[in-house]
Structure 1
């Protein structure tokens, strides 16, 4: 499934603050913790809790969020299908990075071991 320019723009303009509570709900409902979610997001973006809170407070768009991130070099190892899109085939960098985050949150919620989620070894 190919993303459209309209889809990419909609994803880029969404705010991290609008999606983050859903991430928390999703992982906690499945018995994981907010701390584990922070660990996963920090691994992907390099943002600590304070920086994340700053981005939430300023209602940063995903475009701003990922432009300020230092993406983990192992993020390219995140593959598979999320929201009907094969991650490794998404050409738009911001859309692909948002889907990386979605995939990591899904893996956390689905009980995957942290070492696997963080692509260790």
Structure 2
């Protein structure tokens, strides 16, 4: 079966779009990084290494230390699909990240985004 194109897309290629989306709404790059690190278990240094290496999404998520245990609390629709119903585990992780960035751009408080 052919892999979805996003799986082989460089995370570093999409990252600036996450930051831009957040900054257009008055949020910060630091908040985007906080969300990514919360979801994946990466620290800032390891996140930067993946950005510098232009790691693709598949390897970015395969190598993450640990997906946050509260990930099941991320619900809702992104790109026309309910994130909690996406069957492919990698696509679900990517859509979780998309959902969190959307919440940030919509002005949701960071504590709620991080399911605190």
Determine which of 85, 91, 111 is the counterpart of 1:89.
85
Question: Which of 6, 10, 13 is the aligned partner of 1:18?
Answer: 13
| Paired residue total | 115
SS in 2 for 1:60: coil
Structure 1 segment 1-121 matched on structure 2, within 5 A: 6=2, 9-69=4-64, 70-120=66-116
Q: Give the TM-score normalised by the residue count of structure 1.
A: 0.90
TM-score calculated relative to the size of structure 2: 0.94
What stretches of structure 1 move > 3 A for 4+ residues in a row?
none
List alignment gaps of at least 5 residues for structure 1. none
State the SS of the aligned residue for 1:100: helix
Specify the SS of the correspondent of 2:4.
Answer: helix
Deviation of residue 53 (structure 1)? 1.2
Structure 1 residue 11, shift from structure 2 partner: 2.1
